[in-house]
């Protein structure tokens, strides 16, 4: 493997997530009002984070990912006084036990896996915190084997899907956000118990549009305290195309067939997977 990634419990992590921190996740003490923003990488994490940040009077602090950093992480997270919104790409089994016990609110964002794979491919190419990759074909092979950062997309989604009926978990689809952002914003604010007017929803929609976010990223300096994805604090690496269905420009018909076979096998009992029938 490369020096930017290391394996922990069979899953690849960035070396910016220290082994000590990963080993001590279960010593994290959650607060009842914490909100966790969970995703497999490249599923729209920054987008939802922006929506939440723009809710008027939400009184929240968006922190950096729980798994990013070293053992001093939990001390740092204790300093925040406001309600914490904490991003993470952890799978369900690695999520700190106190979050489960306190039944903290969790938003899980999910995106169709072909677009997710293409997006992650570009991240591998552009992000110095990820290994280099020669070709799309070589990357796709790694993706299908789960030999990429945060492991297999399939296993990640399945680990969360087994909790899809938990009242404290809200599932949001990237494709639904593209189709009707106001509706997704309404779902999120209702779930968080915050009242917003229609005018405020329009404001949030506008501020979290792809173009607006991309333009702002170009203007901002990268601030390590404002990191949302544990793989970079450089937001310029995040806003690439922001489209549904871009996978068609990458997959050969053979690659599509191989992908679909694995998808069908892995996701045969998955209800979440049915949302993606329109996007394959
Ligand atoms: P692409 O690489 O396909 O463009 P994450 O935030 O989880 O890292 O996900 C990044 C992906 O979400 C990127 O996908 C990025 O362009 C897309 N994205 C971010 N903000 C978006 C927005 N406001 N609208 C649509 N897509 C957005």
Segment 236-243 long-range contacts (CB within 8 Å, at least 24 positions apart): 237/123, 237/126, 237/127, 238/46, 239/46, 239/210, 239/213, 239/214, 240/119, 240/122, 242/210, 242/214, 243/115
Output the pLDDT for position 265: 97
Higher pLDDT, residue 1 or 133 = 133
Q: Is 43 in the pocket of ligand 1 (CB under 6 A)?
A: yes
Output the pLDDT for position 146: 98
Instruction: Establish how many alpha carbons lie within 13 A of residue 17's alpha carbon, considering only the half-sphere containing its beta carbon.
Output: 28
Q: Is 210 in the pocket of ligand 1 (CB under 6 A)?
A: yes
Is residue 221 scored above 90 in pLDDT?
A: no
Identified catalytic residue from 6, 46, 89, 269? 89
Has 275 been annotated as catalytic?
no
Output the pLDDT for position 232: 92
Is residue 195 scored above 70 in pLDDT?
A: yes
E strand spans, 82-214: 83-88, 105-110, 169-173
The model's pLDDT over 17-76, given as tens digits with 9 standing for 90+, comes to 999 999 999 999 999 999 999 999 999 999 999 999 999 999 999 999 999 999 999 999
Q: Per-residue pLDDT averaged across 190-219, rounded?
A: 96
Confidence of residue 222 (pLDDT cuts 50, 70, 90): confident
ipTM for this model: 0.99
Q: Per-residue pLDDT averaged across 127-132, rounded?
A: 96
How many angstroms separate the alpha carbon of residue 116 from the centre of ligand 1?
9
For the chain, give the mean pLDDT: 96
How many angstroms separate the alpha carbon of residue 47 from the centre of ligand 1?
7
Phi, psi dihedral angles at 12 (to 5 degrees): -80, 135
E strand spans, 48-195: 60-62, 83-88, 105-110, 169-173
8 A C-beta contact, residue 89 and residue 41? yes
How many angstroms separate the alpha carbon of residue 20 from the centre of ligand 1?
30
Q: Is 234 in the pocket of ligand 1 (CB under 6 A)?
A: no
Is residue 3 scored above 70 in pLDDT?
A: yes
């Amino acid at each position: 493997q490369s020096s930017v990634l290391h394996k922990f419990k069979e899953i690849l992590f960035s070396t910016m997530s220290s082994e000590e921190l990963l080993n001590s996740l279960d010593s994290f003490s959650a607060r009842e009002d914490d909100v966790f923003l969970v995703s497999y990488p490249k599923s729209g994490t920054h987008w939802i984070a922006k929506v939440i940040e723009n809710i008027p009077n939400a009184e929240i602090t968006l922190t950096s990912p729980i798994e990013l950093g070293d053992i001093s992480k939990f001390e740092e997270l204790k300093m925040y006084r406001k309600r914490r919104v904490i991003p993470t790409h952890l799978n369900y089994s690695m999520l700190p036990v106190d979050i489960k016990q306190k039944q903290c609110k969790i938003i899980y964002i999910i995106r169709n896996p072909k677009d997710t794979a293409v997006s992650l491919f570009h991240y591998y190419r552009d992000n110095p915190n990820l290994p280099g990759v020669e070709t799309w074909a070589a990357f796709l092979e790694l993706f299908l084997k789960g030999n990429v950062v945060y492991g297999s997309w399939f296993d990640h989604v399945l680990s969360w899907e087994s909790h899809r009926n938990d009242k404290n978990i809200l599932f949001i689809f990237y494709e639904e956000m593209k189709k009707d952002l106001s509706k997704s914003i309404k779902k999120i604010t209702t779930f968080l118990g915050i009242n917003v007017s229609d005018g405020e929803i329009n404001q949030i929609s506008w501020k979290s549009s792809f173009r607006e976010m991309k333009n702002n990223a170009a203007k901002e300096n990268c601030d390590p305290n404002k990191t949302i994805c544990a793989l970079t604090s450089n937001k310029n690496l995040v806003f690439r195309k922001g489209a549904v269905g871009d996978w068609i420009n990458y997959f050969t018909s053979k690659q599509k067939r191989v992908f679909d076979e694995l998808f069908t096998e892995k996701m045969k009992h998955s209800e979440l997977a049915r949302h993606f029938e329109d996007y394959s």
